[in-house]
Amino acid sequence: MSDTLVAAALGLLEGLTEFIPVSSTGHVLLAGHFLGFESTGKAFEVVIQLGAILAILGVYAKRLFEIFTSAPRDPVARRFIGAVLLAFAPAVVIGVLAHDFIKTVLFETPTLIAVMLVLGGVILLIVDKMRLNVRIEEPTAIPLGTALKIGLFQCLAMVPGVSRSGATIVGAMMMGVSKRAAAEFSFFLSMPTMAGAFAYDLYKNRDILSAADLNLIGVGFVTAFIAAIFVVRGLLGFVSRHGYAPFGWWRIIVGVVVLVAIGMGY
């Protein structure tokens, strides 16, 4: 399979998994490992995530416009913007400090990724069955202190296989946010988080990326964008009907299959 086709397939995988709690980065890294795909500086796996984020911007463009235009006169809108930025802040600090370790060690350890998939799946199954006291039904009603704690949960996803959306959703639900509102807040939080990761990673790798690397990133970017649009449009309804247990089982199955494959020398 050519690198272009692999890049397209990995972009598709990224778009399908970015906003569901299964770890898009973990899936892309593991697929790349078994397909023999090596990206320069592991930039491909991070930068194509912006394609999925643009899908969020497209789907939520009207709502984002309403929030920002009403912010000068609406305290709820101002608080929501502040909550998202506050939740984003821990990722900025830890991401900058741990960037090199994450890319050179954690991204290069398929066994760790598979183990995190399994553990995260078990946690999702447990939390999905818990009778949690829901106090917050709308993402715009999340208090600033709760938002900061959700942001700290998000930082757990710097270990590939944990899942950014999974960590934020579980963290939010544990603090009394409904399943749907937790998923929606995770959507909004992904925008500054992934945009920041995109910009910083591109900056860090600016001297080593070639034209060929940028072409592959472009292919993955486009397919991630297209796939993510379909996921974003259907995810909230799916979660409302089925909860997060299906994603938990998916994580466990994928993690176990990968561990068996690694054990067999693949």
CA dihedral 135, 137, 142, 147 (to 10 degrees): 90
Residue 101 has pLDDT above 70, yes or no: yes
Domain count, the chain: 1
pLDDT number for residue 155: 93
Of 39-53, 80-94, 238-252, minimum mean pLDDT range:
39-53
Q: What is the pLDDT of residue 1?
A: 66
Which backbone phi and psi does 204 adopt, to 5 degrees? -65, -30
Q: Could you tell me what percent of the chain has a pLDDT over 90?
A: 51
Per-residue confidence (pLDDT) for residue 67, from 0 to 100 = 93
Are residues 140 and 84 in contact, defined by beta-carbon separation less than 8 angstroms? no
Q: What is the pTM of this model?
A: 0.85
What proportion of the chain, given as a percentage, has pLDDT over 70?
100
Residue with structure tokens 């999974």?
Answer: 166
The boundaries of the domain holding residue 25 are 3-263
Helical segments of the chain, H only:
3-17, 24-35, 43-47, 49-59, 61-70, 75-104, 110-129, 144-154, 164-174, 179-204, 211-242, 245-263
Find out whether 207 and 41 touch, Cβ atoms under 8 Å. no
* Best mean pLDDT range from 35-39, 163-167, 248-252: 248-252
Vertex 264 angle, CA 262 and 266, to 5° = 55
Tell me phi and psi for residue 87, to 5 degrees.
Answer: -65, -30
Question: With contact defined as beta carbons under 8 Å apart, do 59 and 233 qualify?
Answer: yes
